[in-house]
Amino acid sequence: MASNMTIDQILWDLNYCDGEYPEAAFQAALEQRDEIIPQLIDLIDDAGGRANEDERVTTWGHIGAMFLLTEFDAKEGLPAILSSMCCSAVEDLYGNFITDSLPYVAARLADSPEDFEDIIEDCDVDDDVRGALLNAVFGMVCDDRITRETAVEFVQERLSLACSSDDVPLATRCVEILAKL
């Protein structure tokens, strides 16, 4: 059945799965990787845009899209993911995904911690998002994507900036990550 699904059917299943794992849609997406990546990015952009307009997003496609983009190692999806994490209603949009999955997604799709350093340093971004991205730095070390020394230097720089601006949530997260490293 998965191989018979069109991209529109896949996207519909991702959006309206009501939190249930849409196995057929995921399998069909895997079979249509190159064709579906731009639409997955659009799902994330759309959800983030609607959330920024204070519209309640009741669909699930943006979350499924992130998992698929990660499965595909589709680095071109990272900017949309990061942008959506900066929306004003990020907790409503992603909930536990932020702490449970964002570190893995960012660690896998980012080329380096610099890809998201601006977000980590932005006090207006949700503290859980900032912390999850710091956890991604740790994940990049665990996956041998960056060296421990690179990660320590990156986190120490963020800690220094946090201390100089009295950014207690960021400073706390930096200390936690340094302890893990």
81 alpha carbon, distance to own chain's centre: 5
pTM of the model: 0.92
pLDDT for the residue 162: 95
The answer to whether 63 touches 77, Cβ cutoff 8 Å, is no
Burial class (CB in 10 A: 0-12, 13-18, 19+), 152: middle
Question: Residue 65 has which token pair?
Answer: 């899209």
Report pLDDT digits (tens) over 46-82: 999 999 888 888 888 999 999 999 999 999 999 999 9
* Structural element, H or E, at residue 169: helix 168-180
Report pLDDT digits (tens) over 78-116: 999 999 999 989 999 999 999 999 999 999 999 999 999
pLDDT for the residue 55: 86
